[in-house]
Structure 1
């Protein structure tokens, strides 16, 4: 019990399967009932709604994330990545966390909403930082506010939320005035509203757009920052990855067709998601009583499911403390039971944007490493901040080494 709230901590793969795969309809997100957590910020987006409403809304937007549509974004992803590295100077130090936020925000707003404004992207990045990192947060377990932050942080949070709302509602209004289908997510949402009266309100469209922008860049920026940090700490992994990139790409920008020839790149990212999952825990609340492992558990109980814990079970992973991409080798890698690895969730609520994130992180990492081999700056403080995602609390200052370092790394393989 936490106060009067019954809480169940579930950290075994079979438990993850039970809640997310085998019996998902008996469990809802706690915030959908209490107004807690993400719902305070994202409203009624796909991350926060439940039941039939979630199933209906997901069907409406699913076409935007079909494989052929996601694959069509590859050129935009690599072009923007090239523009980012073109703006860097060799030998300097950049905050890789904020650089990746800028890059992934540009990509998500362009590919899903056909918007590309550099100044607007930077403004949105600052706004999301303020909303995510500042202001009071509501406990998903207790359904009440945790202690407030400072008055300054609260003002920054409110201003950040205003900037984001202005952007989203302005985007909707602009697209309505255009009155044409551009084939992106927003066009699909507006068409659904027009063709199925009552299926979606203006606020729901706003909440879906906000959800895609927020989730679409937050997870990717963290993945890229943490992966480059892990590579800087494990030179033997970095050297093997650079050798693969050199063999397959030989300095050119990667294409969609190249990815099948880059299995170690995929393994590195999978292992980074095990170390630093995009979301580090999930919660579910029981609608009806249920039985689990011989125990009768009443309706209203909240179950906490943690990727962070399950991804580090020694009886599953053997050596979870070691960053070892080889465990993901398709031929000789270890067998991983369903429920032991769920960086994007599992079951019918698995993240709709997972294919987008998988493509984006591979293409961006391969593009960046063709030009620079980022190294953690001396004296940098690397501490993760467990908010909705695992952000680096103090950013990720990294020294931009050039191709000379890449060549030396290859010679050491």
Structure 2
């Protein structure tokens, strides 16, 4: 244990009283990069009187997330309080022994065999979305992907296949998630320009009524309907202490919110990147044509589509769904010759690590070839962590990997989305990295398609 803390690394002086609050809140992406470029490995930023330690090297990521994870917890800042207000005690918001115990109970619901069984659902719903589109029409791809991924996660979590029910839930989640920036969600429930308090409360009640109603129904019947909720209820039967209805509610609510938000952003940004890089798009379309020849992709096809995987990995490098995370030290620790006191909050950023020139060579270039198997050993652990690392790595990562591959391959077999001219694409860095004004795209027909669009599998 460190006994004599030393001064924290240098950083920007900031403004009187508020420090670097305005930069941190209103231009965080640019601010983070400026910090790394100016100060190098580490920097200290003051938000008011609160010092934040920024760490910018892969070995730092390993130190916090994989080598010493038990000394660091998620800090109780405004952002986490806001998430907890909405998500309750799900895996995203709990910590320590409680997190480890709950994750062990939840893990069977995301076993590979269970996740793989959802592949047909994913492609079927993608086909139904395609069938609703018109060639050369302009759609908001962000909204389209939000609805599609919410349908998929509602089906796989709850076995709900009602379009009307999904639309109702989708509206409720959209109101709650978009009710205000996560860092000010508590304030937004009192008075918000985004959504009224009444709207937020009604949306929350809609979600709660639906989830608790299903839990009650499943506890009575004790049936395994093949969804995650059934697996959660069955997985705990051999446990000495079962989960309460509230714990199950909070877990599935976290899965819905995080699951469809991550997938919709990934797909939106990937379509955007493909529209901006025609040579990458052409190579991907050629691979899809060679392997699939216009048919619906299956689970067995995915190992034969390495460039598809490279495109998605590179998309996550370019625009990571979660672009920063924070940890607070429970005990003093030593890093880079600095003795850091307990209670210090450290910021780790995928946005920075995924773009370090000395690691990636040409990080500004969208180059899926960097993910070829022969290049993988050159990427150090900690340089790439779109879903986190260590014991808190996102439990839904296999689900997201499967879903994004299947949906991208299915859609591109029929349509090649092209960004609408003069579209305004602006980052909205909240908990995830969203396109602030959506993603308007024209649906250009893929003329290499062989098989017709079908809504059945």
2:328 is paired with a residue whose SS is strand
1:45 and 2:94 equivalent?
Answer: no
1:280 and 2:339 equivalent?
Answer: no
- Contact persistence 1:104–1:220 (CA under 8 A): yes
1:200 and 2:243 equivalent?
Answer: yes
**Whole-angstrom CA distance in 1 between matches of 2:228 and 2:97:** 21
The structural deviation recorded for 1:303 is 0.7
**Deviation by residue 1:268-287 (Cα, 9 ceiling, x = unmatched):** 00000001111011111111
The structural deviation recorded for 1:34 is 9.4
Q: Which residue of 2 aligns with 1:149?
A: 192
**What are the ranges of 5 or more consecutive residues in structure 1 without an aligned counterpart?**
408-413
Within the candidate set 255, 259, 263, 1:220 is matched to: 263
**Whole-angstrom CA distance in 1 between matches of 2:170 and 2:352:** 30
2:374 is paired with a residue whose SS is coil
- Contact persistence 2:291–2:301 (CA under 8 A): yes
The structural deviation recorded for 1:255 is 0.7
- Contact persistence 2:78–2:184 (CA under 8 A): no
**Whole-angstrom CA distance in 2 between matches of 1:83 and 1:202:** 34
1:303 and 2:346 equivalent?
Answer: yes
Q: CA RMSD in A?
A: 2.3
1:244 and 2:316 equivalent?
Answer: no
The structural deviation recorded for 1:72 is 1.2
Given the two structures, how large is their TM-score scaled by the length of structure 2?
Answer: 0.83
**Structure 2 CA distance for partners of 1:136 and 1:214, relative to 1, 3 Å:** closer
- Contact persistence 1:372–1:402 (CA under 8 A): yes
- Contact persistence 1:327–1:334 (CA under 8 A): no
The structural deviation recorded for 1:159 is 3.0
The structural deviation recorded for 1:127 is 2.1
- Contact persistence 1:32–1:39 (CA under 8 A): no
**What are the ranges of 5 or more consecutive residues in structure 2 without an aligned counterpart?**
1-45, 451-457
Within the candidate set 80, 101, 104, 1:56 is matched to: 101
Q: Which residue of 2 aligns with 1:315?
A: 358
Q: Which residue of 1 aligns with 2:427?
A: 384
Within the candidate set 391, 402, 406, 1:363 is matched to: 406
**Structure 2 CA distance for partners of 1:136 and 1:68, relative to 1, 3 Å:** closer
Aligned length in residues: 404
Q: Which residue of 2 aligns with 1:70?
A: 115
**Whole-angstrom CA distance in 2 between matches of 1:394 and 1:33:** 25
Deviates more, 1:46-55 or 1:159-168: 159-168
1:304 is paired with a residue whose SS is strand
Deviates more, 1:375-384 or 1:198-207: 198-207
**Deviation by residue 1:112-167 (Cα, 9 ceiling, x = unmatched):** 22111212222222222222222364479xxx969963274444333332222222
Given the two structures, how large is their TM-score scaled by the length of structure 1?
Answer: 0.92
Structure-to-structure mapping, 1:1-400, within 5 angstroms: 1-31=46-76, 36-135=81-180, 137-138=182-183, 149-150=192-193, 152-191=195-234, 196=239, 198-332=241-375, 335-400=378-443
